[in-house]
Chains A and B, each alone.
Chain A
Amino acid sequence: MYALRRWWDRNGVKLGLISLAVGSALLLRQTQGALVFETYRWLTQPFVRDPAEVATQAGTPRERELEQRLVELESQNRELQKLLKYVDQRSDKGVTAPVIGRSSDHWWQEIILSRGSDDGIQPGFIVSGIGGIVGRVVEVTPHTSRVLLISDPSSKVGVTVSRSRNMGYIRGQSANRVIMVFVDKVPDVRKGDVITTSALSRLFPSGLPVGIVESISFNKSPAPEAVIELSAPISHLEWVIVSPNPKVAEAKAAEEKEAAQEPAKPFLNDEVQPEPQNQLTEYNLPQESIQQFQNRPEAELPAIAPPQPSASPQPPPDPEIEAIPPVESEASSPVTEPPPIEELAPVETAPVLPAPIEAVPPSIDTTDPEEGSGNP
């Protein structure tokens, strides 16, 4: 007992100090260093320049002309979209935020902004600079937010070549370059092509500019790769625009919906589902013919690829038919006998994903001639 008391007398204060230090460190860790970032923001506040000052600096006559043309084209686009009754979920609301710091670590590519949850910023918001997207918000404190850049090796973004709609994803290379990995074995891509975020990206809305193809290597082993030069000056950003992310809100809503319904659903299904449904209504396929198609005996299965004379009187080509069963099979699986569906599944799961991609080109075809005719 005496020894314990003596030990306590000697080391009690030390022990208290150690636990205090570890405790406060854990607290700082739990609050994501909010105290440090808030103090940092308060200290750097006097050195942040006015956005108007920066805006007036960047503007050669050529740039101003292009900006004016962009405004003109945007308004034209809006009119045309109104005529087409196109619904745009994207809102143009954005917060301009000064960049006050960089990552506190060497392994992660981040920036720190001087706007936070008090200005309505939430994790998942998109951050773009002059030229294109920069990253997305990962942490917020009342007055600061931390942004993971797209040049970070850990951020993987689904992108597409805006000319040919070839899909792929980009991987950061911790500099102003990123690597794009294609889905296709022989992608239609050239040096100088513009890369934008794709519709299949789950973190970013589609159509945001990312960068320009710098070089391509077709003989990379799993899939061809291209080096993309980011169009936003990632290494010397001063001001960025933080805008709400419709994808995150959608994902949240979908999650809640899923939680309300049964949990088991295949990956990407909530995004792909609307397409087959549309096609189904578009082609007005009679329900009986679809069920007939599914209930065919196994012997007829090899005849799926060539046009089948016996079971399918309907005119539409294969992709549309193939896109239907996932929706249909869920509903009718208890009724129909299992073997045909199981046999169908491996054949069809592969084409289901490309279906939305294939659905895109018609819209491209309509835009391309316009560009062609506009140039001369």
Chain B
Amino acid sequence: MINNFTKLEPRTLQTVNWAVTVGSVFICLLILPMRLPGMELLSVSPNWLLIWVVAWSVKRTGFEGAIAGLVLGLIQDGMTYPDPTHAVSLAVVGFLTARLQKQRYIREDFISISLIVFGMAILAATITAIQFSWHSPAASTEMANRTLGEIWTNHQRIALSSAILSSLWAPAVYYPLNRWWEMVETVVQPQQNKLKNPSF
């Protein structure tokens, strides 16, 4: 099946590539409200959008990672509450994952991706908890009800369970997406090089 795609025109392949990317985001969004057996620990589910952002940013630049985090964060804001925004934590995760220079320091396999996701999930939960504590004495009615103690007790539970679950589920998102992007790169890159240095 992948061979069929390699025969496509580069432009068509790029379009299909974008469709696959957007489709994978959409699937992640659809899984968010779902609680299937094995997807819940202390009533916390994996952070699918964070896994996607990590999978996207691992082989891209910091800017691309941050933009992806921003976009997914804005969408998640719409699906829950925009205050405090999810865009900050996901953008930071995207940027840092891209800056890890994984190829240089860590061997590429599922374990390392899981490790990155584990760390990033804890980081994301911490950023959100800081956002909550920052706002907690403010006038915003819905957030003012959370006391600092509650926020940080919740943070422990959320950070640990979401980190464990997300790192276990990370390969399910990373593996197919990575295969696809690698394939697209192998097809598009030589052709682009050919276009850049045409041999007359």
Contacts and interface: CB of A to CB of B under 8 A. Distances in A.
Interface of A: 17-18, 21-22, 25-26, 28-33, 36-37, 39-40, 43, 100-108, 110, 112, 153-156, 171, 173-175, 235
B109 to A, nearest CB: 28
Given A25-B71, A29-B77, A174 B154 contact: yes
B26 interface: yes
Contact of A22 (B70, B128, B132, B143): B70
Interface string B59-97: 000000001001110111111111000100000000000
A232 to B, nearest CB: 16
Interface in B154-194: 154, 158, 162
A251 B81 CA distance: 23
A291 B44 CA distance: 62
6 contacts: A25-B71, A25-B75, A33-B78, A104-B80, A106-B44, A107-B128
B123 interface: no
Nearest to A234: B43
Interface in B21-59: 26, 29-30, 32-35, 43-45, 47
A26 B99 CA distance: 26
Contact of B79 (A21, A26, A33, A107): A33
A100 B30 CA distance: 12
Contact of A110 (B75, B80, B132): B80
A32 B33 contact: no
A21 B71 contact: yes
B81 A29 contact: no
B167 to A, nearest CB: 15
Contacts of B108: none
A366 B78 CA distance: 50
A30 B79 CA distance: 10
Nearest to B34: A101
Contacts of B26: 36, 39
B30 A36 contact: yes
The 10 A-B pairs of least Cβ separation, nearest first, read A101-B33, A29-B78, A33-B79, A104-B32, A105-B80, A25-B74, A33-B78, A25-B71, A104-B79, A106-B158
A32 B44 CA distance: 22
B67 A104 contact: no
B98 to A, nearest CB: 15
A101 to B, nearest CB: 3
B43 A235 contact: yes
Contacts of A33: 29, 75, 78-79
Contacts of B162: 106
Interface residues of B, number: 37
A134 to B, nearest CB: 15
Residue of A21, A100, A110, A154 with most chain B CB atoms under a 10 A cut-off: A21
Nearest to A100: B33
A225 to B, nearest CB: 13
Contact of A154 (B67, B72, B76, B146): B146
Nearest to B161: A106
A126 B150 CA distance: 26
A102 B46 CA distance: 13
B35 A102 contact: yes
Given A21-B67, A25-B72, A36-B29, A107 B158 contact: yes
Nearest to B151: A153
Contact of A105 (B81, B143, B150): B81
B80 A108 contact: yes
Nearest to A172: B145
Given A28-B78, A104-B80, A153 B150 contact: yes
Contacts of A36: 26, 29-30, 75, 79
A116 to B, nearest CB: 14
Contact of A29 (B35, B43, B44, B82): B82
A30 B146 CA distance: 25
A171 B44 CA distance: 20
Interface in B129-147: 132, 142-143, 145-146
